[in-house]
Amino acid sequence: MTAWKAEIQVTYKKSVLDPQGVAVEKALSALGYENVDKVRIGKYMELVLHAESEEKARMQVEEMCQRLLTNPVIEDYEYRLQAVSLERGTG
Amino acid sequence: MTAWKAEIQVTYKKSVLDPQGVAVEKALSALGYENVDKVRIGKYMELVLHAESEEKARMQVEEMCQRLLTNPVIEDYEYRLQAVSLERGTG
Q: Quote the ipTM score.
A: 0.86
- Using CB atoms, which residue from A31, A37, A40 is nearest to B67? A31
Put simply, the answer to whether B40 touches A47 (Cβ < 8 Å) is yes
Instruction: Write the CB contacts of B41 (distance below 8 Å, at least 6 apart in sequence).
Output: A43, A44, A45, B18, B20, B21, B24
How would you class A47 by CB atoms within 10 Å of its CB: exposed for 0-12, middle for 13-18, buried for 19 or more?
buried
pLDDT band (50, 70, 90) for residue A61: very high
Where does A2-84 sit in CATH, by number?
A: 3.30.1280.10
Q: Could you count the other beta carbons within 10 Å of the beta carbon of residue A51?
A: 20
- Side-chain half-sphere of A49: how many Cα atoms within 13 Å? 30
Instruction: State the pairing for strand pair B2-12/A75-84.
Output: unpaired
Give me the mean pLDDT over the B18-25 stretch: 96
Q: Is the pLDDT of residue B89 over 70?
A: no
Residue A7 confidence (pLDDT):
97
Whole-number Å distance between alpha carbons of B70 and B5: 18
Say if the Cβ atoms of B46 and A10 lie within 8 Å.
no
Task: Give one word for B38, left, alpha or beta, with left for phi > 0 and alpha for psi -120 to 50.
Answer: left
Across A55-78, average pLDDT: 97
Average pLDDT over residues B7-19: 96
A54 pLDDT above the threshold of 50: yes
Cα distance between residue A10 and residue A65, in whole Å: 9
Q: Is the pLDDT of residue A88 over 60?
A: no
Which residues in chain A are contacts of B13 at CB distance < 8 A? Answer: none
Average pLDDT for residues B10-30, to the nearest whole number? 96
Q: What three-state secondary structure class fits A11?
A: strand
Confidence grade of residue B91 (pLDDT, cut at 50, 70, 90): very low
Smallest CA–CA distance from A50 into chain B, residue: B35
Domain borders along chain A are 2-84
End-to-end Cα, chain B, rounded Å = 9
| Backbone conformation region of residue A84, classed left if phi is above 0, alpha if psi is from -120 to 50, else beta | beta
